[in-house]
A and B are shown apart, each in its own frame.
Chain A
Amino acid sequence: MQFLATISSLPFYILATISIVCALGMILNPNLVRAGFTLIGTFIGIAGLYFLLNANFVAVSQVLIYAVGIVLVIVFAVMLCSLKEEAHNIKESVFSSKARVTFAMLISSLVFAVLSFVIRSQDWQAIAKLTGAERQSSLVQLVDDKYLSQIGFLMLNKYILPFELISVLLLIVLVGTILLSKKDIK
């Protein structure tokens, strides 16, 4: 039984390791285009975690929007800026200032320490009991294929205002991007 539990938790650890390693590779890779493509590994790993969490639609959106859309746009923008002559400068600037790296390491590990302390100190079992998650999870098997319709229902009923605001925001972004990237702004 112990062995079985270990095996079933293996996908989580593999996907988490892939995501973290790819994120670190993105930060430390001196080549910007390669760093952008390394980001795909992080996003694919996170999409796999979404599949483990029964969030199939979010996982597919993650692959479509992040791993393909956003990474491709970033990489194209990097290529447009033709940072070839700058590539060796970046290598120096990432690693040159020791104080900067030390400061960043200090701040980020402090944030991680505080976050993990807060996570550990919560009694999640009690909170799950409070929200009735255990009672609900016995019902989940019945509605396992209804997640997608549930999300659609939420978006057009309870979250109709943010849903509409997002569409307005996307329109504003569309117009703003065209305006910003026009050759001559008068």
Chain B
Amino acid sequence: MTVTLVHYLTFSALLFSVGLFGLLISRNAFRVLMSIEIMLNAVNINFVAFAHFLDPLAVKGQAFSLFVMAIAAAEVAIGLSLLLLIYRNRINIDMDSFATIKW
């Protein structure tokens, strides 16, 4: 039983669900950021697996996964600086307490 595209896609779906689970249960904003990173990685695996199995000559999926990495780095930088700002103002990084921001 060799490893096929279906194996990689199923693995990435599993990793995506684990990231979603972490996103939904964690109340600390840092853990939410880490879960989002895991979900982005799961999508990246899809890109690279499609590039390997369906498009082995012109590896477009690999180029796209590099773009996703750049977006993820930007997202983490902005997210962390926002979290530090919120922490400085209210000494608390609980997701539930962010609800007051909307007023």
A residues lining the B interface (CB < 8 Å):
5-6, 8-9, 12, 16, 19-20, 23-24, 26-27, 32, 35-36, 39, 42-43, 46, 49-50, 52-55, 57-58, 61-62, 65-66, 69-70, 73-74, 77-78, 80-81, 83, 86, 90, 93-94, 100-101, 103-105, 107-109, 111-112, 115-116, 119-120, 124, 127-128, 131, 133, 136-137, 139-140, 143, 147, 150-151, 154-155, 158-159, 162-163, 166, 169-170, 173-174, 176-177, 180-181
Contact = CB atoms under 8 A, between A and B. Distances in A.
B16 A66 contact: no
Interface of B: 1-11, 13-22, 24-28, 30-31, 33-35, 37-38, 41, 44-45, 48-49, 51-60, 62-63, 65-67, 69-74, 76-78, 80-85, 87, 92-94
B67 A166 contact: yes
A164 to B, nearest CB: 12
A48 to B, nearest CB: 11
Given A24-B18, A74-B34, A104 B53 contact: no
